[in-house]
Each structure stands twice: as structure tokens, then as C-alpha cells.
Amino acid sequence: MDSGLITLFLPIALAIVMAGLGLELTIKDFARVSKHPKAVLIALFCQLILLVGIAFLICKILALPPLLAVGLMLLAASPGGSTANLFSYLYKGDIALNITLTAINALIAAVFLPIIVNFSILHFMHEGQQVGLQFAKVLQVFAIILVPVCIGMLIRHYAPHAAEKLNRPVRIFAVVFLLIIILGAIIKERNNLIEYIGQIGFATALFCAISLCIGYFVPRLFGISSYQARACAFEIGIHNSTLAMTIALTIMASTTIAMPAAVYSIFMYIFATIFGMLITRFGTQEVIEA
């Protein structure tokens, strides 16, 4: 993938995707936290603390190469993807809770993600291998997450009919964009692809499965209904790999760091579908008012 294309096209394309996320959000989505604070707090604890800790353990136990370890940590720190709302709808989860978590995660990730990535760089990288995420780059991360989301929300607020018309095309664009950057990363690293899959394939599959399980079973342990736990599972289990890959390819200028998110994207939808079918078949069916 041409470096000029990466630096120009990817940030613009990601901005469109993140604006699309904003098209689905309103201020009410943030205010809804007060309605179900327990579910929100447990989900955020799972995503921000448990999953990041588990990703770190996976990196250490499997002795991942430094750049791939940073890539897995970047993926773990990335917020849930908007596709979580679709899976929640298909498998009878609390979509309103999904949207609320997505809104809060977009805000938190702008600050939390650079902290985790910088920690990972300091911990895993050796001297002479630094791939810095300095203050200027932290501001870039902040900008590509929050600014487009805010623009999308403003469109939704002031031009709701336009937001409705834009929603579907932007969703399609998001899927196509994800496929393009996965393909571009794979083509660029095609000579090392088999080695990368061998090194990171099991780690990403394990991380994906654990994310979904933690997202569902931890809330259930704390008395959260199956209806809301499903929403938590998909929000926590479906990470924004598009965001992770774009940060890796543009701000961090490393295709290798992007590989965990690329490989994860292959497992993510398959695992989420299987998980959704299992909890629909074997899980309880109680529903509470959103």
C-alpha cells in the first residue's frame, strides 16, 4: 500500500466511518447511563480493565514479537465497533444499551487508547525499535476519534432526515473500507503473512473468544439480565479493528502493528455469529425495558 495513499486516504476514510458512528448517536444516548448505571459500569470495567489485562497476559504467555504485541494491545484498547449494534439486534440484545456504550467508549477511547499504546511501546519494544506515540500523535488519535463522531451527531441533531439517508451508505462504506485496508495490509506483508498468522492467529482467535465470553458472563455474574448481557458481549467482543488498523498504518506507520487487527477481523464476525447462536439457543430470554 502506497505511503501517500495511507497518509491521505485512510484518515479521511476513517473520518467518514467515525462520522457514520456519530449519525447513530444523540445526547440522550449519553444521558441514558443513569437509567442502567450498573450494566454500563460493569461493561466498561470489562472492556477497559479486564480485556486489556487479558491481552497483556496473552502477549506475555505466547511471547509475541514486540510489534505484534503492541498491535494486540492497540486492538484491545480500541472501542467497540458499530457492528455490535447489528449483532445485538440479530441476537435479541439491548440495542439502546449498545448505543449508550458506543457513545461512552468513543469518548473514553480518545484518552485511554494512547495511554495503553504508549505503555505497550515502553514495555514490549527494545532499544532502537521505538514506534512513538508522542503528544502530537496523541492529539491525532483524539481528533480522528472524536471530531468526526461529533460532526455525525451534529448532522443527526440538525438534519435528521439527511442522517437517515446517509446511514446505510456509510455503513456499506465502512465494510468496504475495512476490507480494503485488510487487503492492503496483507498484500504489503504477503511475504511474512504465513509467519504472522502463525505468530498472531491463535492469539487473536483466543482474544476474540475471551472478549465475547467476558462480555456476557461477567455481567451475568453481577445479576445483569441476559438481554443486557448480550448487548455487553457484542459491544466488548466486537472491537473497532478499522480504527486500530488505521492508527497502526498512519499514525504509527507500521504494517506489522496492524496485523493483529487484520487477522482479528477475520475471526471477529465468525465468532460473534457462533456466540450469538449459542446464547440464543441456550441462554435465558428475559427482557427488561430499555
Please, are residues 250 and 7 in contact by the beta-carbon 8 Å criterion?
Answer: yes
Q: Which CATH number fits domain 3-282: 3.40.50.2000, 3.40.50.920, 1.20.1530.20, 2.40.50.140?
A: 1.20.1530.20
Residue 290 pLDDT > 50: no
pLDDT value at 58 more than 90: yes
Residue boundaries of the structural domains of the chain = 3-282
C-alpha cell at 189: 506483508
- Res 284: pLDDT: 59
| pLDDT value at 1 more than 50 | no
Whether residue 229 is predicted with pLDDT greater than 60 in this model: the reply is: yes
pLDDT score recorded for residue 289: 44
> Mind listing the pLDDT tens digit for each residue in 138-157?
566 667 767 888 888 899 88
For residue 177, what pLDDT band results from cuts at 50, 70 and 90? Answer: confident
d(CA 216, CA 237): 9
The pLDDT of residue 216 is above 80: yes
Measured CA to CA in angstroms, residue 15 lies from 121, 140, 168, 211 at distances of 25, 12, 16, 26
What pLDDT, on a 0 to 100 scale, did the predictor assign at position 133? 54
Find the mean pLDDT for residues 164-182. 77
pLDDT above 60: residue 130: no
